[in-house]
Amino acid sequence: MLQNSPEKSERLSLIRHSTAHILAAAVTKLYPGTKVAIGPSVENGFYYDFLFPSPISSEDLPAIEKEMRKIAASGVPFTRKEVSREEALGMFRDEPFKTELIRELPADAVISVYQTGDFTDLCRGPHVENSKDINAQSFKLMKLAGAYWRGDEKREMLTRIYGTAWETPAELKEYLHLLEEAARRDHRKIGREMDLFHIDNENPGQIFWHPDGWTIYRIITDYVREKIRKDGYLEVRTPFVMPQSLWERSGHWAKYRENMFITESEKRIFALKPMNCPGHVELFKQGTKSYRDLPIRIAEFGSCTRNEPSGSLHGIMRIRGFVQDDAHIFCTEEQVASEVTKFCKLLREIYHDFGFEPDSTLVKFSTRPELRVGTDADWDRAEGALAEACKQAGLQYEISPGEGAFYGPKLEFTLVDALGRQWQCGTIQLDYQLPSKERLNAEYIGEDDARHTPVMLHRAVLGSLERFIGILLENYAGALPPWLCPWQAAVIPVAQTFDRYAQETAAKLDQAGFRVFADTGNERMNSKIRKYQTKRIPYQLIVGQKEAENGTVSVRFRGGEQKEMKLEEFSGYLAEKTASKSVSV
C-alpha cells in the first residue's frame, strides 16, 4: 500500500512538478501555437493548463505521453536563471498568461525561469537536476478537463491535462491498481447495484433513500442512539429553520452566511440551519442550571443544509442536505479533560464496531484560523485546555495549523479504509465563544452562587451519516458486515414445490429478529442467486426436498462456500455474528 514519509513526499513533489514541465515541453513541441498557463504538482500527480489552437481529446494523450518519455530519457538538464522583469516580459511576450502573472509580481520579487531543452517556463522551482532523474516508465497522463483561467468563469476556458508520477514503475503500477480498485468500490456504483439510493439531477446534493438504503441508515442511527443513551446523552430535536437574529448573535451570519440557504417570511429573514449548535444553546438556556447539573450532554440527529457549490458535490459523500450524529456538551472548565477522555473512549468503541481499528485512527489538532471570533487570549486559553485534555486522554496527535473552527480549536479523527485512504469523520471542538455573554449568553449557577458561562464542547463521531454510509460501502466494496446489511439472508426454493417451506423458514428467522425474506418469484434459482450476489446479501439459504425433509437449509455464503445446517444452528450462527458485530460472514 502506498505510504509516503515527509522525505518521500518532498521527492515526489519535486518529480511531479518537473514532470509537469516535461508535459508542457511535449505539448508545445507537438502543438505549435499552444499558450501555456500554470502546471503545479498536486496530490498523487500534476496538471498543466493550456490554450490549444484547436481542441484536443483524450485520444491525443498517448502521443503526448510518448513525446514526454523521449524528453525524460534524453537527459535534458533543468537550468535555473534569474531575470529582470523586463527580460521576463520579453521572453514571454507571446504567452499572455505568463505575462499577466509577471506584471502582478511585487516590485522586489525575484523572477526565475527554468529551461528544459527547447522549453522555458516561468517558475520558482525547485526541480530535479536532469530529466533522467524522472523514470520514463513511472508517469502516466490520466485525463483532460476544462478549467477557467484563474478559476474565473468570465475568463478563457483552458484545457487541463492531469497526470500522475512516481519514483518507480512499480509504484505507478500499484497506484493504477488502487485507482481501479477504488472505481470498483465507488459507492455510487454500489448504490445502484444494491438499489440503495439515487440523486435527482434537478435536485443536486439531496438524497432519495430507497428501502434497503434507508434500512442501513436506520440500523446505524439505532445503534448510535443506544450507544449515546448509555453514555449519558439526552436526545433532542431543534427547528430546521431559524431566524437571522439567532445566526447573527452566534456569529454564523458574519462568518458562514455564504454557505447558508436563506428564506423570508412576513418580512423576516430566516436560514435553513447549516449546523445544530445555536439550537442546542437555546435548549440549555431553558430553566436555571446549577453546577451540580453539569455536564449536560445534548444529542441530536440534526438535519442540516449547506449551500455547497454544485461542482464540489460527490454522490452521498459531499451533499447539501445531510444529518449529523451531533452533540454538545456543556460543562465546567474542570470537566473538559474528563469529557474529552470519555468522548474518545466512545469514539473508539463505535469505530471498532464498524470494523475500523482504533489504533489506526489518525488525530489532528486544528488550531486558530485566520477568520475567527474571540481574542488571542481566548484562543490561548482554549488551545491550552484542549492540549491538556489530550494529554490526560493519552492522545497522540499532529498539529494542523489554522484549521480550527471559527469559534474554537478542534480535534479531528481520521479513519483509514481498506485501500489506505483517509476519511476525516469524528471531531470534538472546544468553544468559549458561542455560550458567552457576547454571543448566546448561556450560564449556570456556580458553587459560589455566582453566574458562570459553561464551556461548550461540539462533538460528532461519524459526522455526516450519509457520508459515513458512503465510506462503509467503499471500505467493504458493498459487502457490509451481517449486522449492517439491509437483508441478512434470502431463502431461495429450488422449485415452486418448496415455496411453502421457504416461506416458513423465512418466517421463523424473521420471528427470531433477523432481516430475512423468501423469494418465491418466477425467476430460475440461478438467476436469483446471481441477483442476490450483486446485492451482496451475506447468506442465501437454498431449500429443496432434502432440506424440507430434514428441517435444514443449504447455506450459500457470500464468498461462495456452501454448508448444510439445521435451521436452529444457522439461527444461532447468525445471532452470534450480529451480536459480535463481526465483519466476516
Question: Which residues does the annotation mark as catalytic?
Answer: 277, 306, 324, 326, 328, 410, 458
Q: How many CA atoms lie within 13 A of 160 on its CB side?
A: 18
Residue 486 grid coordinates: 439491509
In 3D space, the residue among 318, 359, 360, 336 whose CA is nearest the CA of residue 429 turns out to be 336
Phi, psi of 27 (to 5 degrees): -65, -45
In 3D space, the residue among 61, 47, 43 whose CA is nearest the CA of residue 19 turns out to be 47
In 3D space, the residue among 98, 94, 20, 33 whose CA is nearest the CA of residue 64 turns out to be 20
Per the annotation, does 328 bind a ligand? yes
- Whether 173 contacts 300, CB under 8 Å: no
- 113 forms bridges with which residues in the sheet? 81, 122
Q: 433: buried, middle or exposed (CB in 10 Å: 19+, 13-18, 0-12)? A: buried
Phi, psi of 247 (to 5 degrees): -70, -30
Q: How far is CA 448 from the centre of its chain?
A: 46
Residue 102 grid coordinates: 509577471
* Strands 362-366, 410-416: pairing kind: antiparallel
Residue type, 467: R
Between the two ends of the chain, the Cα-to-Cα distance in Å is 25
What is the distance between the alpha carbons of residues 207 and 320, in angstroms, rounded to a whole number?
9
Per the annotation, does 352 bind a ligand? no
The runs of H, that is alpha helices, within 490-564 are 499-511, 525-534, 545-550
- Whether 391 contacts 340, CB under 8 Å: no
Which residue numbers belong to the known binding site for Zn(2+)?
277, 328, 458
Which residue numbers belong to the known binding site?
277, 328, 458
